[in-house]
Structure 1
């Protein structure tokens, strides 16, 4: 069995006077009321006996709504330990445009039931296996009276992108397009040529392609670089696959994280809108979605004044110095117990930093820094700077 890791990475750290770390997967995040976020269980599998933990976002009202299904990648280790993916940034843009959005965790991931199946370097089989769950979610969604079953679009990131491209080989009623963001699967360890296996899989998917696809890959993707992407595109398109490849430049430290980053939206949104228009899907904003309430900067101290951060032991001050080199979005939280926690990149960094700190403290944690400014005050804001924080 080969180990795999192709999921967009997020970083979170917790510590106290010699304490431990909290993986991002363990941070319990609040549901986003702006997007009517819910968690539902969707039946899947050959006998529909598997239940897929699925994040649902939808506009207010009865619908029927066009549908976007977003498919996740894979974290290292046990898929059961993987956190529920949310893709809040993409979901918000689609809800504004009147879409319902589903983000299913596939078989064996997070709180979905069943057992994850890994076919190692058989990339064709890996893609088809994961695509089966997506097809089941589509069938379930089309049975709902508030979903417009004739206007569906599919997106996938990393392993979810590979699965989405594999799905494009099927004739699926109502599915008008597939979007692949940094799609693929990288095998770590073993002796197989996983890159050639990916090329072979994409060649077959191209021969069997039935649905229009959009691909987006960045120049500094740490998993699938430009040379490999060129081979994947040539294999897919050269065998008849319908594809629009957008090869954009470098994104931060790793383009593989672009879709899950707050700062990725200016890259993907214009290309997605053009694709949606071409396949006859809505692009006009028809619903208002409130922007998250930002943390207010204070005049407590300069950002780089390490000595001013309260409560921290020397090890915590060393961590704060390291935190100042991290990329935004980012947040740093502290507690009177001497605990601290920080989070970098991805979604809900405020909550992840607070949860990381709180895992190491019996006393409430509060945000000290958000992005490039200090938000700490000697008199805490009971709404904006408590141990529970706000949605990023």
Structure 2
């Protein structure tokens, strides 16, 4: 994924923010997805650097450069985390300054398409992303909110009401369209609270906003964006939003340990050439498996499939190589057929 870890200046130029960058092959310019992390329990300075590999990979494979800044006081970024108190509206705006710094950094990069930026946030990063969206930055086309908010308990703070007020405040000025994802078994934000936040945000109807209330997910819907199993839930609504604002959604390649393998979109289920009846039946069964999934083959007629897990592509290729003396290549990844010239040894 061409991972690079650098530091960028914060908005005032007084601190450095630890930042991860993923870029496709080539010089660009690439559209840009800026992903903003949540807050784990404990000392923010000890929180690991965020990579958000599931979401990052989906955007990277569609030709986006992906930027993941660690906000002030988190991980190896400078400064000290500002304890929010009960004013969650202000906290979101304060954290949004570091997102602003990431956008300013992107605007200086020759490999970035400066007018095609999407802002993504999860949990505390979702609150911060929506606060930043209220500034209506000209280059930002869409906002994606994964279970955005901040669970804060201290003193007499009625944090749910404060959170609803924060979103109402942001919604008053935001004109950038967004999509929100909240699940029924979210450990931090109940469906009722999610609906209150959404209703408060959309009172003025300045922006096109969609709430995806997707029901239970795993043991905790708050972790949707970190699970490969969550992609079929959040990608279709995200794709619809990106298409509506003119941002790319076509998968251009598969990012694997082998490098970038180009793909061409073909209707799912198109049978591979040369299968016998038994192989065709096995392939048909494979198409019924959940995403993510991959199928690999070799010229000697060896076929191998894999489904689920972060290394599903590598597993399919390695299984094929173990049984074939000839080079193996990918045939299908999720809904996309990999081009034949992408054979790898």
Alpha-carbon shift at residue 268 of structure 1 (Å) = 1.2
Task: Report the Cα distance in structure 2 between the residues aligned to 1:72 and 1:347, rounded to whole angstroms.
Answer: 20
Partner SS state of residue 153, structure 1: strand
Pair 347,108 (structure 1): closer, same or farther in 2 beyond 3 Å: farther
Tell me the equivalent position of 1:280. Answer: 246
Pairs within 5 Å for 1:81-96 = 81-96=46-61
Q: 2:11·2:100 contact (CA, 8 Å) conserved in 1? A: no
The C-alpha deviation readout for 1:278-320, integer Å capped at 9, x for no partner, is 1110001123322799xxxxxxxxxxxxxxxxxxxxxxxxxxx
1:163 equivalent among 128, 140, 163: 128
Tell me the alpha carbon deviations over residues 222-249 of structure 1, each in whole angstroms, 9 at most, x when there is no partner: 1111100111011010133421111101
Identify the residue that residue 37 of structure 1 maps to in structure 2.
3
Q: Give the Cα–Cα distance (whole angstroms) in 2 for the partners of residues 292 and 82 of structure 1.
A: 30
**1:112 and 2:80 matched:** no
User: How many residues end up aligned between the 2 structures?
Assistant: 264
RMSD of the TM alignment (CA)?
Answer: 2.1
Matched with 1:216 is: 181
Q: What residue number does 1:150 align with?
A: 115
Q: Counterpart in 2 of 1:328?
A: none
Give the whole-Å Cα distance in 1 for the aligned partners of 2:236 and 2:177.
Answer: 17
Counterpart CA distance in 2 for 1:234 and 1:92 is 32
1:1-392 maps to which residues of 2 (within 5 A)? 35-46=1-12, 48-242=13-207, 243-290=209-256
**SS of the residue 2:256 aligns to:** coil
Where 1:56 maps in the other structure, the secondary structure is strand
Give the match's secondary structure for 2:195.
Answer: helix
Kindly provide the CA deviation profile for residues 163-207 of structure 1, in whole angstroms up to 9, marking residues without a partner as x. Answer: 011111113121101110000000134221000001111111111
Rate the CA distance shift 1:286–1:125 in 2: closer, same or farther, 3 A.
same
What displacement does 1:347 show?
7.5
Unaligned runs of 5+ in 2: 260-308, 316-345
Query: Does the CA-based 8 Å contact 1:209-1:240 persist in structure 2?
Result: no
Secondary structure class of the residue paired with 2:115: strand
| Whole-Å separation in 2 of the counterparts to 1:279 and 1:217 | 22
- 2:95 aligned counterpart, secondary structure: helix
- Poorly superposed stretches of 4+, deviation over 3 Å: none
Rounded Cα–Cα distance in structure 1 between residues aligned with 2:14 and 2:26: 31
How many Å apart are 1:76 and its aligned residue? 1.4
Could you say what secondary structure the match of 2:202 adopts? Answer: helix
Change beyond 3 A, Cα 1:241–1:233: farther
Contact 1:50 1:114 in 2 (8 A): yes
- Structure with greater contact order relative to length (CA < 8 Å, sep ≥ 6): 1
The whole-number CA distance in structure 2 between the counterparts of 1:210 and 1:41 is: 31
Residue aligning to 2:335: none
Per the alignment, in what secondary structure is the counterpart of residue 289 of structure 1?
strand
Q: Tell me if the contact between 1:260 and 1:347 (Cα under 8 Å) persists in the aligned partners.
A: no
Distance 2:310 2:17 in 1: 22
CA distance in 2, matches of 1:288, 1:107: 33
Normalised by the length of structure 2, the TM-score is: 0.73
Q: CA deviation at 1:118?
A: 2.0
Offset, 1:119:
2.5
Corresponding residue SS for 1:216: strand
TM-score by length of 1: 0.65
